[in-house]
Chain A
Amino acid sequence: MGVKQVVKGNFATAVAAKLARVDVVPAYPITPSTLFPEQISTYIANGEMDAELLLTESEHSAMSAAIGASASGARVATATASQGLKLMSEMLFIASGMRLPIVTAVGNRALSAPINIWCDHQDTIAERDSGWLQFYAENNQNALDLMLMAFKISEDRRVLLPSMVGLDAFVLTHTMEGVDVPLQEEVDEFLPPYKPVYTLDVKNPMTFGSFGTPAHYMEFKYQQWEAMENAQKVIDEVFSEFYEKFGRKYEKVSEYRTDDADIIILTMGSMSGTARAAVDSMREKGIKVGAAKLTVLRPFPFKEIKMLARKAKVLAVADRNISFGFGGAVFAEIAGALINEKEKPMLIDFIIGLGGRDITQEDFYKIAEISKDAIDKGKVEKMIHWINLKEVQ
């Protein structure tokens, strides 16, 4: 068993990179992820980690360096957030297109303007088409564990795609929590060294990410699509192997008191614990409500969401993001996933907690109340609600 430590979320992702024996960390600091490269730098200075820390002039360069290092066969990790992830955006698509299993921790932070350093999921949500796997941590233990598993999933020959692990800005990145830090020998058994299919090597020159004309481009995209499909199974395998080895259970979608629920509230990230506490309070009052947490957004867990949807009369989606001109992105995807199901619940979208606005149990009571109203009326009168919004002019 590992060692219990009280640590911040950023430390959890950094210690995961150390335990994964990462070779190269190209980084450019940005709030709230700066503690990640700082911690890596400390490890290297103390001789606890044998890695190259590349301090680049921008996030675009950090991801470019990550791509070069990964192509040369190194295990690569970095961390960023918000505007930093946006500056990386161009290179994110290249990393996935070149099939490089880079792992990036993202301190989920709102996007400018107006400038805001606090939590929402807009930064990673806006990159959900980038070809990266996406995991969302509820707590610091999740952040550590998902980072470790992300390497194993990404590097699997059936997948070979990069992963991002989201952890909520400040709520996790800067908050101290008890975390079980696995021992090095346990991690070594779980995560063998990365063995790339192709390697940049001056003695054996190859072209990486070459020109793809209309005659070939679609086939490369289909390969990425297939790899993402394969990741569904690989994630299940790795989650189950991790459970056997470390005793902590992970699921793409985790359910809580959903079996006889009329209303299920679906959440992502740190708000999930608040949702479960709210469910307990409402259950005491006899309200048949349950909660579900989405840990994996890419690949999208179609099977698990369809199973979940069968249980409820209303599926209430708490979206800590907004796609202007549509609604919450997770809501949109769930609606898409259920479209051909014969029996499906009513779907209601709740935009919540943008820019670090606190998400409280009262917010979930409100969500349940609106959902209950839809059940009573037998229809959804308003599809998208903004929760805890102040009066504006």
Chain B
Amino acid sequence: MDKVNIGAVITTPGSALNYKTGSWRTLKPVLDEAKCKFCNICWQLCPDSAIEQADAKAKKPIKIDYDYCKGCGICVQECPFNALEMVEEEK
């Protein structure tokens, strides 16, 4: 057991980054890069900041951060170009 501070105080800011919540997922969004039009709607709507922004000038599509994506599927629902699809998580 690691030492725990009284009152559940965490003295190191930003330590939530170390807690990977991606394992909670049962379905995951998968991107078809050819279909991504760099609109960034999914990036705006992701409730967990688990999408890395697309760059239209560099023709760089969005990227999903599977360490934190919990598989809610909002990005898949909202993508106007059907560039995202939910697939079963392989265990």
Contacts and interface: CB of A to CB of B under 8 A. Distances in A.
B4 A219 contact: yes
A160 B6 contact: yes
A297 B62 CA distance: 60
Contacts of B4: 216, 219-220, 223
A389 to B, nearest CB: 45
A112 interface: no
A393 interface: no
Interface in B1-46: 1, 4-11, 13, 15
A210 B11 CA distance: 11
A99 interface: yes
Contacts of B5: 198
B10 A207 contact: yes
Nearest to A226: B6
B10 A206 contact: yes
A97 B5 CA distance: 12
B9 A210 contact: yes
B11 A209 contact: no
A205 interface: yes
A354 interface: no
A344 B43 CA distance: 69
A98 interface: yes
Interface residues of A, number: 20
A392 interface: no
B7 A100 contact: yes
A113 interface: no
A210 B10 contact: yes
Nearest to A96: B7
Interface in A205-248: 205-212, 216, 219-220, 223, 227
B19 to A, nearest CB: 8
A219 B7 contact: no
A208 B9 CA distance: 5
B13 A205 contact: yes
A219 B13 contact: no
A197 interface: yes
Contacts of B10: 206-207, 210
Nearest to B11: A206
Is chain B's binding surface mostly helix, strand, loop or mixed?
loop
A198 B7 contact: yes
B10 to A, nearest CB: 4
B11 A198 contact: yes
A97 B11 contact: no
B8 A220 contact: yes
A227 B7 CA distance: 11
A63 to B, nearest CB: 16
A219 B1 contact: yes
A383 B76 CA distance: 65
A209 B13 contact: no
B9 A198 contact: yes
A197 B6 contact: yes
A99 B10 CA distance: 14
Contacts of A210: 8-10
A209 B8 contact: yes
B7 A99 contact: yes
A240 to B, nearest CB: 26
Interface string A27-43: 00000000000000000
A219 to B, nearest CB: 5
Interface in A79-108: 97-100
A214 to B, nearest CB: 13
A220 B4 CA distance: 8
B90 to A, nearest CB: 25
B1 to A, nearest CB: 7
A342 B4 CA distance: 40
B11 A208 contact: no
Contacts of A211: 8
Contacts of A223: 4, 6
B8 A97 contact: yes
12 contacts: A98-B7, A98-B8, A99-B7, A198-B9, A205-B13, A206-B9, A207-B8, A208-B7, A209-B7, A209-B9, A211-B8, A219-B1
Interface of A: 97-100, 160, 197-198, 205-212, 216, 219-220, 223, 227
The 7 nearest A-B residue pairs measured at CB: A99-B7, A207-B10, A98-B7, A205-B13, A198-B9, A210-B8, A99-B6
